[in-house]
C-alpha cells in the first residue's frame, strides 16, 4: 500500500478519489487551498470510509507548502487535481489560470523532484483534442491549442510533463483526459458543489430540480446530432476516481508519459440527459432552447479502449446511475456543503 499526495483533494473529483484510495488501503495526504471547496468534503470522506487522512491547507504554487508536505510524509506518488476549471472565467482572468494551472504544476513537479518522487497522475481533459477530430476520440489523434484559456493550460501542462519525462527517465506520468464527469458517491454525502451559477450541465439540472434555478437553457437545438442538441460522454465520478487508482498501478513499474481517455465511450445528447433525469428521478425540469454557447462542439465522446486494455479499468455505471446519484446528492444537500 502506498502513501499518495492528492492535490486539490477537497474538490469534486479529488474527494471521490480520496474515498477510493482509502477504501483500497492507501494512505492519503491532501493539499488544497480550499479556493473552490470546503474542508467539510474531507470530513465526510473520513466518515464514509471510517479512515483518516492528513489535510494540509496550502497552495501548490508555494514551494514552502509543498516542501512541508514532502518533508513530513514519505510520499510514493502524486495525483494532481489542484487547479481552476471554469472555461468562461478563464477568458476573464487568464493570469489566474496560467498561475494556478501552469505555474502551480511546475512548482509541484519541482518539489517532487526535490523530494525524489517521480510518479504523477495529472487531471487533463478531452478539451485538448483538436476540434477537427471526429468522435470517438482516441489518444493518437492530434491535439490542438484550445480556444479557451482553461483548455490552453491543460494542453500546456500535458506538453511540459511530456518534455520533463523525455529529459529524465525517472519520471512516470499518467495524463488522464477526462470527458464529462458527473454523478456522486452512492451515499449522497459527497458530490459536486459549484460556487455561483453552474457552468456545467449536470449541476445546472440538479439546481433546477431542487428549486435553486428557474429553468435550464439548452444551448443550441440545431446541431448535426440525433436531436439537434450537443452530445457528450458523461462519466460517473466514481468510475473516474477508480481510473486514478488503475493509473497509479500502471505507473508504478513504468517510465515515461502516457495519455488515456477516461469516458464511457458513449455519447448522450442534452435532451437525452434531461429526459432521462426526469424519468429516473420523477422530477420535472423546466427548460428553454437558447442560442448555441460560444466554443461548444456538436459531439464529443471517447474511444476508451486504451484505458480498458492498458489500465485494467472498466466503467461500471451508466447514464441512469449518474443521474440518480447526482440527484441523490443534490436532494440531500440542497445548498451543497454549506
DSSP string computed for 286-308: -EEEEPPPTT--SEE-B--HHHH
What is the Cα–Cα distance from 307 to 201, expressed in whole angstroms? 25
**φ, ψ for residue 324, nearest 5 deg:** -65, -45
Q: Report, in Å, the least distance between residue 282 CB and ligand NAD.
A: 26
Number of residues near ligand WQD (by CB under 6 A): 19
Q: Are 208 and 198 in contact (CB under 8 A)?
A: no
Chosen from ligand WQD, ligand NAD, none, partner binding at 230 (C-beta under 5 to 8 Å by type): ligand WQD
Chosen from ligand WQD, ligand NAD, none, partner binding at 98 (C-beta under 5 to 8 Å by type): none
110: contact with ligand WQD by CB under 6 A: no
Tell me which DSSP letter residue 142 carries. P
SS3 111: helix
Catalytic residues: 150
Strand 54-57 versus strand 119-125 pairing type: unpaired
In sequence order, the β-bridge partners of residue 3 are 27
With contacts defined by CB under 6 A, name the span among 8-16, 160-168, 227-235, 300-308 that binds ligand NAD. 8-16
In sequence order, the β-bridge partners of residue 209 are none
Strand 268-269 versus strand 231-232 pairing type: antiparallel
Strand 234-236 versus strand 180-182 pairing type: parallel
And the C-alpha cell for 175? 495524463
Give residue number: closest CB to ligand WQD. Answer: 230
C-beta closer to ligand NAD: residue 33 or 326: 33
Chosen from ligand NAD, ligand WQD, none, partner binding at 59 (C-beta under 5 to 8 Å by type): ligand NAD
Q: Taking CB under 6 A as the rule, which mask of x and - marks residues 175-214 in contact with ligand WQD?
A: -----x------------------xxx--x----------
233: contact with ligand NAD by CB under 6 A: no
Binding footprint of ligand WQD on the chain (CB under 6 A): 85, 87, 125, 127, 151, 180, 199-201, 204, 216-219, 230, 232, 270, 293, 296
Binding footprint of ligand NAD on the chain (CB under 6 A): 7-8, 10-14, 32-37, 59-61, 81-85, 100, 104, 123, 125, 178, 181
Amino acid at each position: 500500500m502506498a502513501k499518495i499526495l492528492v492535490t486539490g483533494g477537497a474538490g469534486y473529483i479529488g474527494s471521490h478519489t480520496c474515498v477510493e484510495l482509502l477504501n483500497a488501503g492507501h494512505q492519503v495526504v491532501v493539499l488544497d487551498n480550499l479556493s473552490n471547496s470546503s474542508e467539510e468534503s474531507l470530513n465526510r470522506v473520513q466518515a464514509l470510509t471510517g479512515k483518516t487522512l492528513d489535510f494540509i491547507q496550502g497552495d501548490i504554487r508555494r514551494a514552502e507548502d509543498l516542501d512541508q508536505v514532502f518533508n513530513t510524509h514519505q510520499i510514493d506518488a502524486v495525483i494532481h487535481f489542484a487547479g481552476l476549471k471554469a472555461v468562461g472565467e478563464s477568458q476573464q482572468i487568464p493570469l489566474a489560470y496560467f498561475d494556478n494551472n501552469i505555474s502551480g504544476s511546475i512548482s509541484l513537479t519541482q518539489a517532487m523532484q526535490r523530494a525524489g518522487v517521480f510518479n504523477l497522475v495529472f487531471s487533463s481533459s478531452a478539451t485538448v483534442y483538436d476540434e477537427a477530430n471526429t468522435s470517438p476520440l482516441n489518444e493518437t489523434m492530434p491535439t490542438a491549442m484550445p480556444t479557451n484559456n482553461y483548455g490552453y493550460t491543460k494542453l500546456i501542462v500535458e506538453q511540459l510533463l511530456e518534455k520533463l519525462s523525455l529529459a529524465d527517465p525517472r519520471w512516470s506520468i499518467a495524463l488522464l483526459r477526462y470527458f464529462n464527469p458527473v454523478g456522486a458517491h452512492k451515499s449522497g454525502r459527497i458530490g459536486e458543489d459549484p460556487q455561483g451559477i453552474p457552468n456545467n450541465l449536470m449541476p445546472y439540472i440538479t439546481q433546477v430540480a431542487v428549486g435553486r434555478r428557474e429553468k435550464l437553457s439548452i444551448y443550441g437545438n440545431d446541431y448535426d446530432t440525433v436531436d439537434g442538441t450537443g452530445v457528450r460522454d458523461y462519466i460517473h465520478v466514481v468510475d473516474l476516481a477508480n481510473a486514478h487508482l488503475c493509473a497509479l498501478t500502471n505507473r508504478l513499474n513504468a517510465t515515461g508519459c502516457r495519455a488515456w481517455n477516461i469516458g464511457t465511450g458513449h455519447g448522450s445528447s442534452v435532451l437525452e440527459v434531461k429526459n432521462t433525469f426526469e424519468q429516473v428521478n420523477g422530477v420535472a425540469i423546466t427548460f428553454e432552447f437558447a442560442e448555441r454557447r460560444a466554443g461548444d462542439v456538436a459531439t464529443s465522446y471517447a474511444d476508451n479502449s486504451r484505458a480498458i486494455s492498458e489500465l485494467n479499468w472498466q466503467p461500471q455505471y451508466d447514464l441512469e446511475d449518474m443521474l440518480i446519484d447526482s440527484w441523490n446528492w443534490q436532494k440531500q444537500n440542497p445548498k451543497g456543503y454549506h
